[in-house]
Chain A
């Protein structure tokens, strides 16, 4: 007998995902799946979500042609899906808002969230303020230091930011602490996980609320360019942005690429490239590709980008990669900084460090002969100004 979920909870030929949760969280996860399914079938919920995405988030986001950068690189055309122009400045708000509406519908008025770069934390704090929910965000102390503007934003929105000192003080530890907090308050709190990972149903829930990115982008590029691109590319930390953009293109004949953080070196502990040295393992409630040591302890990771600095790849994206439906590349810290510089100077757009990892691949794609590229610009770079200033004098 399995746990009794209704939606598929495993992905791909290697059955990634699953629900590896402590028993205390199993019933809350079953309840969440039921609430999610019923909300998707409820016209009132869907109408409210659609209205909020339009009037609060600012959807649809534009698909911006980048002709100067395309010409400079030798591409025929480059299109940017502008999640950086959403309210709060990254794609994270799509999921945060949808889950906050779901929480309210479940009668849960306390929200718990984790955050790495702070974009999911800010988005959740904003959604909670908008809906009148209380909000506590767990954030590693390293990330709080390097993404300080986002800490201030969350606090302005009335959220409590709980510093997590354990380990490296990054996203992994923040998720640990959020899961613990949820176990203690699951009778009254909802946990808004920000990436397409965690125990079922979270990966499916987050992907469902993020595919709006790719659905819009696909319709927009058909209209603006008169056809599909050769390449669709997005950065991938846990995978919410990668899946959100790439999944709606799965049925198309084109190259789908997810870019991982290459960090500052090839050895374990120097990067967050799960396809290089990651092995199948279980972390934070799901089975997926995981950077780990020989003992099954989670490895340390490194990336200039807090949002990509995570040891596991979301299970659905990992499955798509392992089954050959999505290609994976990596960009180093330095390459990401170069990618950001390219976009700033050619198009007047300041990308988040996460998105810059996808931008970093553009010269390679041009050299490989790609003509038209659609790139997911997952967030804006205001939060990263201090890193840009200190690392590249932008």
Chain B
């Protein structure tokens, strides 16, 4: 099982730091990282990732520059591009595919694109090897979860984690550390979802300490660490140091 899915904000602390962070993630044995494309209106993000996106945009981390800076990088785990829809729509599917081709991006997690709202766009990207990650929220009924997992299907066991996993949103609200995530409903949720699917699950939103990361792993899922990591990286720490600082003691 992939032990951790770290989230990095492209352009924060800088685009120049990105290859080093990706290389460090690979050296840690991680199968994938989520890479946030900074957006002007990140409606699903809490204060930490909002601020990181804002800093990145101020430093010129446009979608184009982010994707160009990923071109040719091979010393990296698979990248899951975490983004809002509008910048992708403005690029258009053809240009997006062209930009993604030389990068380690293997899947897209588009926060504000429910399945079915841009069917042609989504189908074209999936056919080119960029499937959309299914998101399962606490408000998602099991019936709807079953439907979502079928609409954004598991490509099969030979496919990498980045293209197979479903993202389980651990709590209501936006990304961020929050105070003491209640893990009991998360455990019940993961158990329910594991009864529906054999694909890997990642659990994110509100995980910010070693205890909750370990607890998620015990459930058989990969913990996502986002805001807490971005906060440490913004101080200029390397990935290993940032993770060790407060997050992970058992990688």
Contacts and interface: CB of A to CB of B under 8 A. Distances in A.
- Tell me whether A and B are bound partners: yes
Interface of A: 1-3, 18-28, 166-167, 172, 176, 179-180, 183-187, 279-285, 290, 292, 294-298
A290 B135 CA distance: 26
Interface string B77-102: 00000001111111100000000000
Contact of B43 (A176, A186, A292, A297): A176
Contacts of B1: none
Interface stretch (B12-20, B139-147, B237-245): B139-147
B95 to A, nearest CB: 12
27 contacts: A1-B115, A1-B151, A2-B116, A3-B114, A18-B117, A20-B113, A22-B112, A24-B138, A166-B50, A167-B40, A180-B46, A180-B173, A184-B172, A184-B174, A279-B90, A281-B86, A282-B84, A282-B85, A290-B86, A295-B87, A295-B90, A296-B86, A296-B91, A297-B41, A297-B86, A298-B40, A298-B86
Contact of A179 (B39, B43, B90, B91): B43
Contacts of B148: 23
Most chain B beta carbons < 10 A, residue from A24, A27, A179, A290: A24
Given A281-B86, A296-B87, A298-B86, 11 more contacts: A1-B116, A20-B112, A22-B111, A24-B173, A26-B137, A166-B50, A176-B41, A179-B43, A280-B89, A290-B86, A297-B41
Interface string B109-153: 001111111000000000000000001111111001001100100
B141 A27 contact: yes
A24 B84 CA distance: 15
Contact of A23 (B57, B86, B137): B137
B116 A3 contact: yes
A116 to B, nearest CB: 15
B44 interface: yes
B112 A292 contact: no
B69 interface: no
Contacts of A279: 90
B40 A180 contact: no
B70 to A, nearest CB: 16
B90 A23 contact: no
A280 B92 CA distance: 12
A18 B114 CA distance: 10
Assign chain B's interface to a size class: 35 or more
B116 A27 contact: no
B3 interface: no
Nearest to A22: B44
B87 A21 contact: no
A167 B58 CA distance: 12
A39 to B, nearest CB: 21
Contact of A284 (B41, B63, B172): B41
A186 B174 CA distance: 12
Contact of B90 (A167, A186, A281): A281
A330 B185 CA distance: 52
Contacts of B174: 180, 183-184
B83 to A, nearest CB: 10
B139 A27 contact: yes
Interface string B50-71: 1000100100001110000000
A282 B135 contact: no
A23 B114 contact: yes
A259 to B, nearest CB: 25
B169 interface: yes
A184 B170 CA distance: 12
Contacts of B112: 20-22, 282, 285
Contacts of B136: 23
A385 to B, nearest CB: 32
A390 B1 CA distance: 65
A184 B138 CA distance: 11
A340 to B, nearest CB: 32
B86 A292 contact: yes
Contacts of B85: 20, 282
Contacts of B137: 22-24, 26-27
Contacts of B115: 1
A3 B86 CA distance: 19
Nearest to A281: B86
A176 B47 CA distance: 12
Contacts of B40: 167, 297-298
A263 B165 CA distance: 47
A187 B172 contact: yes
A24 B135 CA distance: 9
A1 B138 CA distance: 21
Most chain A beta carbons < 10 A, residue from B63, B112, B174: B112
Given A24-B138, A24-B139, A292-B86, A19 B117 contact: yes
Contacts of B87: 295-297
A295 B172 contact: no
Contacts of A280: 89
A283 B173 CA distance: 19
Contacts of A290: 86
A311 B115 CA distance: 26
A18 B112 CA distance: 11
Contact of B41 (A19, A186, A298): A298
B117 A23 contact: no
Nearest to B88: A296
Nearest to A298: B40
B221 to A, nearest CB: 17
Contacts of B41: 172, 176, 283-284, 297-298
Given A282-B85, A296-B87, A28 B139 contact: yes
A21 B112 CA distance: 5
Contacts of A3: 114, 116-117
